Chain A
Amino acid sequence: MQLNIKNYLYKNEKSEQRIHWFKYAAPSVFFSLAGRLIPIFYVVSFFLCTAGLYIGFLIAPTDHQQGEAYRIIFFHVPAAWMSMVIYLAMAFWAGVGLVTNVRLAAMLATALAPTGAMFTILALWTGALWGKPTWGTWWVWDARLTSELILLFLYLGFIALQSGIDDSRRADRAGAILALVGVVNVPIIYFSVKWWSTLHQGASVSLGNGSSMASTMLYGMLMTTIGFWSYSIAIIFKRVRCIVLERERHTDWVKKMVLSRT
C-alpha cells in the first residue's frame, strides 16, 4: 500500500525536511529507538534516586510531628504517583490502540501494566508501614486506601485478562476496554482526600498553590519521584521490546536480529 505523503507537506516543502513521527508506530523502528534510550533512562534514574535519597535521609531534618517516620515519604509518594500516572498512560495507549488499530500502542499498554502494579503494591506496602506508627493501624477502609487497592485489582485484572485470551489482537481490545473503564478510579484516588473525610492526609503539594513542606524534604521527594519516573520508562521500554519480539517473531527483521544477537 503506497503511503501518499504529499497530503501533509506544505507547498514546495520536501519530504526530507519534515520529521515523520508516524514511522515510530512501526515496531521495528520503535524497537531500535527504545533500545538506545533505555541506558540513558537507567542512568538518569540511578542518579536522581541516589541524590533524592541522599537529601532525604542525610540532609533533611527530622519532622517535629512524626519524628523520623516521615522519611517513608521518599518511597511512598513517588510510588503512589507512579501507580496513578502509569495507569493513565496504560489507559491512554490502550485507547489509542483500540481506536487506531496500531499494534504497538496496545503492546505498550501491556508493557505498562506490571510496572504499574508493582508501584501500587509498593505504595500500599509503604503506606501500611507508615500508617502503623502514625495512625496506629496497618490499614483502614478510607476512600484513598480503598481506591488505591482497587487500582491494584484493576492492574492485576488487566494482566490476567490479557494473559487469558489467546488471540493477541482480541486480548488487546478486551484489555483496552477494561483499562478505559477503570480509568475513572484515578481521579477518585486523587480527589478522595478532598471529596470525603479520610484518615489519609490531604494534599501538601499542589501545582497551583505550591507546597506546605520543608524545602529539603520537598526536593528529596521530587528527585526520587522523577527518578522513579525515569526508572519506569527504562523498564517499560525494556519490557515492550520483549513483547515486540514475541509478537513480531514471524517478521524478517526479528529473525535477522535474533540470529545476529545470539
Chain B
Amino acid sequence: MIWQSWHDFLIMGGYGLYVWGSALGAFLLMIGEIIGVTLRQRSVLRKLHQQIKARQIVERKL
C-alpha cells in the first residue's frame, strides 16, 4: 500500500478530479451498458411473449 492516508488517495497528488473523473466515467459507461442490455433482453422477451400469446389466441389454441 503506497498511500499514507485516505485523504492522499482521494486527492491523488492534486490530480484527483482528473483521475477519479476518469474512473467514474469508466464505471458509469460500463455499468450503464450492462443495464442497457439487460433492459433490452427483458423487453425483447416480454414483447415476444405477448406476440406469441396473441397469436395463440387468434389461432384459438388457448
Contact = CB atoms under 8 A, between A and B. Distances in A.
Interface of A: 57-62, 67-69, 71-72, 75-76, 79, 114-115, 118, 121-122, 125-126, 129-130, 132-133, 231, 235, 238-239, 241-242, 245-246, 249, 254-255, 258-259, 261-262
A121 B29 contact: yes
Interface residues of B, number: 31
A72 B26 CA distance: 10
Given A69-B15, A122-B29, A245-B44, A58 B3 contact: yes
A132 B2 CA distance: 25
Contact of B23 (A75, A238, A246): A75
A121 to B, nearest CB: 7
Contacts of A239: 37, 40
B54 interface: no
Contact of B52 (A125, A238, A255): A255
B62 interface: no
B2 A59 contact: yes
Interface of B: 1-3, 9, 12-15, 17-19, 21-23, 25-26, 29-30, 33-34, 37-38, 40-41, 44-46, 48-49, 51-52
A114 B26 contact: no
A5 to B, nearest CB: 33
A79 B21 CA distance: 15
A50 to B, nearest CB: 12
B26 A261 contact: no
Given A75-B26, A126-B26, A231-B30, A68 B12 contact: yes
